[in-house]
């Protein structure tokens, strides 16, 4: 699912920049990755043929769940926010429906497998999860090593509302507060002063819909004296499939609470991540997009 985008994109960008060595290197890696990806289907067929359908199903269900989280974070935010409006061909949700849901459904059923038990819930997440991740990466931009495009100009918001009806009443409400602070020079209110709670499976902040559709929830699990926190039933279920594999890992927040991050504040966390001032992320467009709201304050009520 994620192979073509970074590798083909990187190779293409490198060639355009004249770095043909790097372009060839990345293309070569991509062909190798493609071969690895090709193994999946036949390996599953062998498992099923030899009476291990349940194992095959479990492997597929876990893999899709974990990949979905990363794909949602990286591709979801890139398609619906970082891509300039004039270059967007379809929304992330439309892309997922056409290229992932339809194709994966056919492939899985052809193999003789069932759809993962969480299929409908995953499809429901197409409506909101990557919007939440976008707000997370922009608001916690000091914790990233790159600059994040906000992607919420008045025109962008019209597009988001068209593709995701209700966006303005949910994510838009939270962005309204952020934009109001930017317009009125309250920059300190546009930065975090604490850490988000990170999912013990995906390592991504636990987040969902704000505003009128508020549905944020913790999915905790007590296991061997420790409480774990998850973003959804799906993430919690993945952990339960192989707790020995995951139980000892400490998220950034776990390490913070264990006293491994000093001083115990956001600056300490940035130092722990080796992010010095000048390296930490900021707004990708230097907040120039906020001018559109300064010019026509009524725009934010779009």
- Tell me the H-state helices in 72-190: 77, 92-95, 102-111, 119-125, 129-139, 154-163, 171-183
Choice between 40 and 211, CB closer to another protein: 211
**Computed over its alpha carbons, how large is the radius of gyration of the chain?**
21
Q: Which of 210, 232, 238, 300 binds another protein (CB under 8 A)?
A: 210
The span from the CA of 174 to the CA of 102, in Å, is 33
Nearest to 97 by CA among 27, 163, 7: 163
Which residue, 38 or 194, is less far from another protein as judged by CB?
Answer: 194
Tokens of 82: 């970082």
Site membership for another protein, residue 92 (CB under 8 A): no
Q: Is 152 near another protein (CB under 8 A)?
A: no
**Residues in Cβ contact with 3 at an 8 Å cutoff, skipping those fewer than 6 apart:** 30, 33, 34, 37
Select the span of 41-49, 78-86, 253-261, 291-299 touching another protein (CB under 8 A). Answer: 253-261
**Residue 203 interacts with another protein (CB under 8 A): yes or no:** no
Under the binding rule (CB under 8 A), the answer on residue 207 touching another protein is: yes
Q: How many CB atoms lie within 10 A of CB 234?
A: 24
Output 218 or 291, the one with its CB closest to another protein: 218
268 counts as binding another protein under rule CB under 8 A: no
Asked if 166 is part of the footprint of another protein (rule: CB under 8 A), the reply reads no
* Residue 174 in contact with another protein, rule: CB under 8 A: yes
Other C-beta atoms within 10 Å of 95: how many?
Answer: 17
Of residues 53 through 82, those in contact with another protein by CB under 8 A are none
Number of residues near another protein (by CB under 8 A): 36
Least Cβ distance, residue 244 to another protein (angstroms):
22
Report how far residue 159's alpha carbon sits from residue 169's, in angstroms, rounded to the nearest whole number. 14
- Cα 261 from chain centroid (whole Å): 25
User: By rule CB under 8 A, what string of x and - marks binding of each residue 28-57 to another protein?
Assistant: ------------------------------
93 binds another protein (CB under 8 A): no
Query: How many CB atoms lie under 10 A from the CB of residue 182?
Result: 20
Is 296 among the residues that bind another protein (CB under 8 A)?
Answer: no
Assign 141 to helix, strand or coil. helix
Provide the binding-site residues for another protein, judged by CB under 8 A. Answer: 132, 135-136, 139, 171, 173-174, 176-178, 181, 189-190, 192-197, 205-211, 214, 216-218, 220, 227, 229, 253, 256-257
């Amino acid at each position: 699912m994620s192979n073509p985008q970074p590798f083909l994109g990187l190779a293409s960008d490198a060639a355009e920049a004249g770095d043909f060595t790097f372009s060839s290197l990345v293309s070569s890696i991509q062909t190798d990755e493609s071969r690895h990806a090709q193994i999946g289907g036949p390996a599953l067929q062998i498992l099923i043929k030899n009476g291990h359908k349940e194992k095959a199903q479990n492997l597929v269900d876990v893999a899709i769940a974990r990949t979905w989280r990363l794909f949602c974070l990286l591709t979801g935010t890139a398609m619906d926010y970082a891509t300039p409006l004039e270059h967007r061909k379809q929304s992330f949700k439309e892309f997922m429906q056409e290229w992932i849901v339809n194709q994966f459904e056919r492939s899985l059923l052809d193999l003789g497998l069932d759809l993962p038990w969480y299929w409908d819930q995953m499809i429901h997440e197409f409506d909101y999860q990557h919007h939440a991740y976008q707000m997370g990466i922009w608001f916690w931009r000091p914790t990233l090593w790159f600059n994040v495009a906000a992607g919420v100009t008045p025109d962008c918001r019209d597009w988001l509302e068209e593709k995701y009806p209700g966006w303005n009443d949910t994510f838009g409400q939270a962005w309204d507060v952020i934009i109001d602070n930017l317009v009125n020079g309250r920059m300190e209110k546009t930065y975090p002063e604490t850490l988000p709670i990170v999912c013990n499976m995906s390592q991504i902040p636990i987040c969902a819909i704000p505003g009128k559709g508020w549905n944020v929830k913790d999915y905790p699990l007590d296991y061997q004296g420790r409480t774990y926190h998850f973003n959804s039933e799906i993430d919690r279920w993945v952990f339960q499939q192989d707790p020995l594999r995951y139980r000892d890992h400490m998220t950034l927040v776990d390490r913070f609470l264990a006293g491994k991050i000093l001083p115990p504040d956001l600056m300490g966390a940035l130092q722990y991540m080796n992010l010095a001032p000048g390296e930490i992320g900021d707004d990708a467009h230097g907040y120039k997009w906020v001018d559109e709201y300064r010019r026509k304050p009524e725009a934010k009520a779009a």
